[in-house]
């Protein structure tokens, strides 16, 4: 660990903090990405249109990052397509069941000192560790 790996993460985190604060101050909304994606599919009405605008903003932001710093999208995980597909199913199913993900519980909820979000964050971090340990076990790489 050195400053060169910490500082981009810290500044990225600050940008995320500013973004979710703008959402709260102007729109009074929590920036929970899993909830926004799920509700954009099930409630595509005029009142929920802000969710589609948010998703469009993320995709435009992604294009911008890919234009200036394409290496930020490198995926050197070595995970197979099947593993990634199973991961996606679990993340989609679990985040709707548990009412949130890293952004809604981990950033917005912890910032509000929500007990529910603290329990959710501890749970998903712990199970994230378990899954990584499991994958190490499968590949024999302890």
Partner 1 sequence: MANRTKQNLISLAVGFLFAIGLGLSGMTQPHKVIAFLDPWNWDPSLLFVMVGAIGIHGLAFMMLKKRASPLLDTRWHFPTRKDLTARLVIGSALFGLGWGLGGFCPGPSLTSLSSGNFLSVVFVGAMILGMLIFKKTESLLKLRD
CB 80, min distance to partner 1, A: 9
Binders of partner 1 in range 60-79 (CB under 8 A): 60-66, 69-70, 72-79
Give the one residue of 43, 44, 58, 137 binding partner 1; rule: CB under 8 A: 58
Residue 44 vs 65, nearer CB to partner 1: 65
Residue 44 vs 56, nearer CB to partner 1: 56
**Tokens 């050197």 appear where?**
76
Burial class (CB in 10 A: 0-12, 13-18, 19+), 32: buried
Burial class (CB in 10 A: 0-12, 13-18, 19+), 23: middle
> What is the phi/psi pair of residue 82, to 5°?
-65, -45
Helix axes 33-42, 49-68, angle to 10 degrees: 130
> What is the phi/psi pair of residue 4, to 5°?
-65, -25
Residue 22 vs 44, nearer CB to partner 1: 22
CB 39, min distance to partner 1, A: 10
Establish if 137 lies at the interface with partner 1 (CB under 8 A).
Answer: no
Six-digit token pair at 15? 């940008």
Establish if 46 lies at the interface with partner 1 (CB under 8 A).
Answer: yes
Binders of partner 1 in range 10-39 (CB under 8 A): 10-31, 33-34, 37-38
């Amino acid at each position: 660990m050195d400053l060169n790996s910490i500082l981009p993460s810290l500044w990225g985190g600050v940008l995320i903090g500013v973004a979710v604060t703008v959402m709260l101050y102007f729109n009074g909304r929590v920036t929970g990405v899993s909830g926004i994606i799920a509700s954009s599919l099930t409630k595509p009405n005029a009142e929920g249109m802000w969710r589609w605008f948010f998703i469009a903003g993320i995709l435009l932001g992604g294009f911008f990052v890919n234009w200036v710093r394409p290496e930020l999208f490198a995926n050197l995980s070595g995970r197979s397509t099947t593993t990634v597909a199973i991961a996606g199913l679990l993340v989609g199913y679990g985040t709707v069941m548990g009412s949130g993900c890293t952004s809604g519980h981990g950033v917005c909820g912890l910032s509000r000192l929500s007990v529910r979000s603290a329990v959710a964050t501890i749970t998903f971090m712990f199970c994230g560790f378990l899954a990584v340990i499991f994958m190490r076990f499968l590949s024999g790489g302890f």
